[in-house]
Structure 1
């Protein structure tokens, strides 16, 4: 029996400036313009996602 490696599956695709730049091969300005256009047409909501790993050092200092 042949072993197969599972492909990682993201539950929610990431749609941000960096992913658009990498996926479409466009500049940062073009990616941001595309995101704002999608927001203005109400296709996406531009609510940032909190990265808990990045805030852990700040929480430890409290």
Structure 2
């Protein structure tokens, strides 16, 4: 019997590239939408840090 991993999907990503692809708009228009949502406090533009990648940047003792 073969087992398969269940794919992990964090859900849709809202960023400049996904807006450009989904709506067929320019980079400027996509960024304007994101800034507008940020200013209305609908979204937070601060990215979530990837702890694993952050550990690679820390100086070694």
Mapping of 1:6-45 within 5 angstroms? Answer: 10-45=9-44
Hey, which bits of structure 1, 4+ residues long, moved more than 3 A?
8-11, 49-59
Q: What 5-or-longer segments of structure 2 have no aligned partner?
A: 1-6
Residue 48 of structure 1 deviates from its aligned partner by 1.3
CA RMSD of aligned residues (A): 2.4
Size of the alignment, in residue pairs? 55
Structure 2 length-normalised TM: 0.63
TM-score by length of 1: 0.62
